[in-house]
A and B are shown apart, each in its own frame.
Chain A
Amino acid sequence: MKQFTFESKQKTLFMAMMGIGLLCLVLSYIFEPAAIAEAGVHQRFWSNFLLNASYFTGMAFMIAFVIAAFTLAYSGWFIVFKRLWEPFALFLVPGLVLMLVLAIGNYAHLHHLYHWAADGVTDINSEHYDAVLAGKSLFLNKGWYLFGTLVLGGIWAFCAVKFRQTSIAEDNDGAHPEKNFPYQAQLRKWSAVLLPIAAFTGPVMIWQWIMSVDAHWYSTLYAWYCMAGWWLAACSLSIILLIYLKGKGYFEQVTIEHLHDLAKYMFAFSIFWTYCWFSQYMLIWFANVGEETIYFRERLDHYSALFYGNLVINFVLPFLILMRNTTKRRNGTLIFASLIVFLGHWMDFFYLIKPGTLITAKEIAEGGGHHGAEGAHHAAAHASTFVEGFTIPGLIDIGVMIGFLGFFLYFVFQQLTKASLIPENDPYLQESLHHEVQVYE
């Protein structure tokens, strides 16, 4: 079947998922954990919003990035499921709208996720003056956040839309080899535009969106770490969706060979992710510089389940499960491993975002405002208790994730109906159809 139909059953399911998500968002807005309820900043709601909005937007960003990289490398094997990745990349459009809510929220004081966005931290006469944040204010400021989300993110989304448009135009027109060349040239042009821009601006937006919840701390490896995580999430979701859609009778030409290669990406990037994780940890651990070590001290002391669980779920399990060829070529084990990786990296981002936002909320709750440069250290000493929805994911947090996932899938399925599932006129289609991984059975 070349034409995808969005069944009403699926629509109902995704609507129900979005309903659960909305309900959980409302619940997290009302029921703030007691430890930070005084602050009145609805930190659980906003940190969940940031976590899920950035997770799914990041997946869209990485898929756009990978499409650009594959196109420029004259890669042909993925063409047969390119029509699944184009909607993934297109999710940048609604995803960036969600991130824009946060960018505008910085101005309107809707949320207090970022310490650097608080009033007075850069004003030397204010009691909230923070020398470290004032020093970083050239980059960590509301204007940059808005500019990055709107303009840099806009460039990514623009290129993703161009990929889609060119690909569909080729479908409608380029039936002959001499005709589809201009479309390929267009695709390569937009890929060449996106690839360097995304490589530099992706990390910048990761620093702004995610790393700056721990505004005093920084790590240069952080962006690679996040990008690897996003790519793994997108890769695992692609595998699950492809197997599901194949079961429904679509994407018949996507064979176990394509899934095998996707699984190889999942395996390899799980190791790359661990490499980044370990390098970041070991350098900070060994250098033992107080302002850097506090980040891991906080996490080891109060988030030890997430800290060690993260390594088991995102490294040990995928590594052992996906090591053999046989497990990479069976639907059952593939779905199992993909689910682990998808949920594991969601949990990883949970672990990246929640501790920092909790500290910020605690500072507000304790001081009625932000402390000085020592604020983070001071608050860390008081963060010794279990806080629901921060220390480990609660049911509400998982519900919010289900809601965003429903929205993402609804968007992707809606886009799938708008074009043929197989890009008939793509010159690399034949290469993709005959893609084969030589395996000794």
Chain B
Amino acid sequence: MAAKYKDVLFGLYNDETILMKAIKTAKAKHLDIMDVYTPFPVHGLDPLLGLEESRLHIVGFIFGLLGTLTALCGISFIFGGSLLFEGDWPTIFGGKPYWSLPAFIPITFELTVLFCGIGMTVVFYLICGMGFGVDNPVLHDRITDDKFCIAFQTNDMDDSGVDELKGFFNETGAEEVHTKQI
């Protein structure tokens, strides 16, 4: 995609079953769907669009591991008694050894979850191109409310191609058809 702006032709549907049927029709006609927007997750939509499984959970695993290591290293650095660290401030709690794993498990668990949660959120924002100061174009406000949207990119299309798409929207029962430049 060379153009700076995308010319988008999109249709709004009232119901997810109509939407699903429309996507199947588009597939049969080999129309190149840019994206589909729904107000809530629609069961079976991802396989229909041929989307692959998100790799976000791998990120979660890596950040979780990082959290576990941070917790264990941090605790070891403070209390010592382990192979790696001498102990910055060794303290005896309840007559236990300086380095006593069962007592560290809750903190380790919490830091793992914390790192995992924050890491996944930040990476999710990054890969979606969202964040502070980023202008996020929205095709139509009602996509976040009660409308289901199929969008096509029409930058390099001639009129007959656009007409074909409009005919497709007509035929599959779209309530509204709009164009927008984003």
Which residues of A line the B interface, CB within 8 A?
A: 278, 281-282, 285-288, 436, 438, 440
Chain A contact residues, majority secondary structure = helix
CA distance A287 to B96 in the complex (A): 10
Q: How many whole Å from B53's CB to the nearest CB in chain A? A: 3
Interface string of B68-104 (1 = CB under 8 A from A): 0000000000000000000000000111100000110
Known A288-B94, A440-B52, A440-B53; judge A282-B43 contact (CB<8 A). Answer: no
Known A438-B46, A440-B46, A440-B52; judge A282-B94 contact (CB<8 A). Answer: no
Q: How many whole Å from A436's CB to the nearest CB in chain B? A: 7
**A-B interface, 6 closest residue pairs, ranked by CB to CB distance from nearest:** A440-B53, A282-B102, A288-B94, A285-B102, A286-B103, A286-B94
Known A282-B102, A285-B102; judge A438-B94 contact (CB<8 A). Answer: no
Known A281-B102, A282-B103; judge A288-B47 contact (CB<8 A). Answer: no
Q: How many whole Å from A333's CB to the nearest CB in chain B? A: 20
Q: Which residues of B38-76 have CB atoms within 8 Å of chain A's CB atoms?
A: 43-44, 46-47, 52-53
The answer to whether B43 touches A436 (Cβ under 8 A) is yes
The answer to whether A438 touches B47 (Cβ under 8 A) is yes
Specify which chain B residues have a CB less than 8 angstroms from the CB of A440 in the assembled complex.
46-47, 52-53
Q: List 17 A-B contacts (CB under 8 A).
A: A278-B102, A278-B105, A282-B102, A282-B105, A286-B93, A286-B96, A286-B102, A286-B103, A288-B95, A288-B96, A436-B43, A436-B44, A438-B43, A438-B46, A438-B47, A440-B46, A440-B53
Number of A-B contacts (CB under 8 A): 27
CA distance A162 to B172 in the complex (A): 50
Residue in chain A with minimal CB distance to B45? A438
Specify which chain B residues have a CB less than 8 angstroms from the CB of A288 in the assembled complex.
94-96
Q: How many whole Å from A319's CB to the nearest CB in chain B? A: 14
A282-B102, A438-B44 known, 11 other contacts, Cβ within 8 Å: A278-B105, A282-B103, A282-B105, A286-B93, A286-B103, A287-B94, A288-B94, A436-B43, A438-B43, A438-B47, A440-B47
CA distance A438 to B43 in the complex (A): 8
Q: How many whole Å from B65's CB to the nearest CB in chain A? A: 14
Q: How many whole Å from B50's CB to the nearest CB in chain A? A: 11
Specify which chain B residues have a CB less than 8 angstroms from the CB of A282 in the assembled complex.
102-103, 105-106
Specify which chain B residues have a CB less than 8 angstroms from the CB of A438 in the assembled complex.
43-44, 46-47
Q: How many whole Å from B171's CB to the nearest CB in chain A? A: 28
Residue in chain B with minimal CB distance to A440? B53
Q: How many whole Å from A46's CB to the nearest CB in chain B? A: 34
Q: How many whole Å from B93's CB to the nearest CB in chain A? A: 8
Q: How many whole Å from A440's CB to the nearest CB in chain B? A: 3
CA distance A287 to B103 in the complex (A): 11
CA distance A281 to B43 in the complex (A): 42
Residue in chain B with minimal CB distance to A285? B102
Q: Which residues of B4-51 have CB atoms within 8 Å of chain A's CB atoms?
A: 43-44, 46-47
Q: How many whole Å from A284's CB to the nearest CB in chain B? A: 10
